[in-house]
Structure 1
Amino acid sequence: MPGQDPGSDLADARGLAAAHQLPVADQIVDVLDLVDARADNPALRRGYARALRLLADPASPVHGMVAVSRTAITPADRPYEDQLLWHTHHHTGLWLVRNESAI
């Protein structure tokens, strides 16, 4: 949601990374603004696009991302499926703090 404080979500994501012993190379807070909030495609959001660039760069130490929930990526089914396929094709991980059935 635009204008929300990302502090607790970021803490939750750090907690999941620590619980699974995932090293954190970079922290990107993808705060939605009014432009980003209109896009169902998460790759059009600045923060998420930056994370994808890091994941796609072979020289990057980043090999996965932690998101608060599936809806933090996108509430739309098709773009979410596209993101899962993107991660599959790039051999990267996607961890959700709140799994899809807990939403």
Structure 2
Amino acid sequence: MSFQEKGPWFMGRLFEGEVDGYFVQAQVFSEPSPYGIAEGRISRLIVYPDRSAGFHRNLANYDRGWDGGPPNDTRIRTVVEKTVRHFDGKNVDWSFEARR
């Protein structure tokens, strides 16, 4: 798992990388927020099947809340969990995320 910083994105920084074969884009802020995943620094996160997939083919989309609810697929949840641990060093409480 590795992420590359792509530069500023709104007020945060855009990172892109591959986690377990999935392509991930994340907007990461310098400070945690109640709007972030697990109340951390990631305020936007998109998981794609691969780098060439268009936005309409995303597998999970978080933009200060989960579009359509948190992912149910355990593989996608694992990708999210690894990304959150990478940037925030914490675990994801999925029951909390489902109540957002």
**TM-score tier (shorter):** 0.3 to 0.5
Higher CA-based Rg:
1
Which of the two has greater strand per residue? 2
Which of the two has greater helix per residue? 1
TM-score normalised to the size of structure 2? 0.36
TM-score normalised to the size of structure 1? 0.35
